[in-house]
Amino acid sequence: MTKTFAVIGDPIDHSLSPSIHNAAYKALGLDCTYIAYRIPRGELKAGVESLKQIKISGFNVTIPHKIEMMKFLDEQSRECKIIGAVNTVSNDDGRLVGYNTDMDGFLDPIKKRNLPINGSSVLLIGAGGAARAIIAGFAKEGAHKITVANRTKEKGQEIARFAAGLGLESDAVSLDEAGQSAGRYKFIVNATSVGLKNEPSPISTKTVNSENIVYDIVYMPMNTDLITQSKKNSARVIYGYEMLLGQAALAFEIWHNAKAPYDAMKKVLVGGF
């Protein structure tokens, strides 16, 4: 019988996850299908019930449900508990088991480039669910210091405390302050949604230089203003689609217990730009 998978969130109509996973099924000849299912904020409980009713095999969780979905899990992976958010769920005969592949999916393109994280300094822009997974990833790999820059200062401070709890030296600054000092950090990461609507970079790039690695988790457009400006300043860049692929490949491996066909998944994505 065909196995069905899904991504839940709102908005969901532009999600690239169905294309990525369906490309993987095609490449491996799996009898599976993957759909996008819009569940508005506040309707998660009923949405999860309906997924169980259709015997969904597994699903990804995206904005705005990554944190709230934790309540509906029967079991949580270690990463999920540390991060406090879930992006991948498997349905084991009605038992929902939650994982977080955002953390290792984020780290994947850094590791593929052999860029050392140990002892490094990080400027992280944003303080939402994605930021927490990224902080947990940098902490796991032994980064030294994280500065959190966020529009709402209190949220930045809260996430800086979360980083301190994971053993990182941390502080919180404004977006303006971040623009003044960005060039001093090894990694500069945008974990906000700024760029998705072609907005200007969330911080000034005037100090960005060839020593920096600039990673934007916004994947559409591929060349956000932050990425474009950083390339002009000779920084190394990592694209948001690489994290998207990393987390999708890891979710695939959890569900199918087989190596993800990374190149087929990448082809459908990069071909889509």
The CA dihedral of 158, 160, 165, 168, to the nearest 10 degrees, is: 180
Amino acid type, 182: A
* Interatomic CA distance for residues 50 and 169, integer angstroms: 44
Instruction: Select from 2-10, 116-124, 186-194, 251-259 the region that touches ligand ATR (CB under 6 A).
Output: 186-194
- Distance in Å, CB of 139 to ligand ATR, minimum: 17
Residue 84 buriedness (CB in 10 A; 0-12 / 13-18 / 19+) = middle
User: Which string of x and - marks every residue 50-79 that binds ligand ATR (by CB under 6 A)?
Assistant: -------------x--x-------------
Give the contact letters, 122-161, x = binds to ligand ATR (CB under 6 A), - = no.
----xxxxxx------------------xxx--x------
- DSSP 8-class letter at 188: E
Phi–psi pair at 224, nearest 5 degrees: -70, 170
Q: Pick between residue 50 and residue 198 the one whose CB is nearest to ligand ATR.
A: 198
How many residues sit in the footprint of ligand ATR (CB under 6 A)? 17
User: In the block, which residue shows the tokens 């270690």?
Assistant: 78
User: If you search the block for the tokens 């019930």, which residue do you land on?
Assistant: 49
Q: Which stretch binds ligand ATR (CB under 6 A): 14-22, 40-48, 190-198, 239-247?
A: 190-198
If one asks whether residue 109 binds ligand ATR (CB under 6 A), the answer comes out as no
Q: Which of 22, 60, 192, 230 binds ligand ATR (CB under 6 A)?
A: 192
Q: Considering 3, 45, 66, 197, which one is annotated as catalytic?
A: 66
Per-residue x/- marks for ligand ATR, 214-243, CB under 6 A?
------------------------------
Q: Are 145 and 167 in contact (CB under 8 A)?
A: no
- 66 among known catalytic residues: yes
- End-to-end, the C-alpha distance of the chain in Å comes to 33
In whole angstroms, the minimum distance from the beta carbon of 144 to ligand ATR comes to: 23
Question: With respect to ligand ATR, which residue has the nearer C-beta, 103 or 130?
Answer: 130
Mode of pairing for the β-strands spanning 213-216 and 145-149: unpaired
In the complex with ligand ATR, the residue whose CB is nearer, 24 or 107, is 107
The backbone torsions φ and ψ at residue 268, rounded to the nearest 5 degrees and listed phi first, read -65, -30
Among 121, 180, 193, 228, binds ligand ATR (CB under 6 A): 193
d(CA 62, CA 266): 20
**Closest of 215, 240, 259, 200 to residue 16, by C-alpha:** 240
Footprint on this chain of ligand ATR (rule: CB under 6 A) = 63, 66, 126-131, 150-152, 155, 191-194, 202
Q: What are the catalytic residues?
A: 66
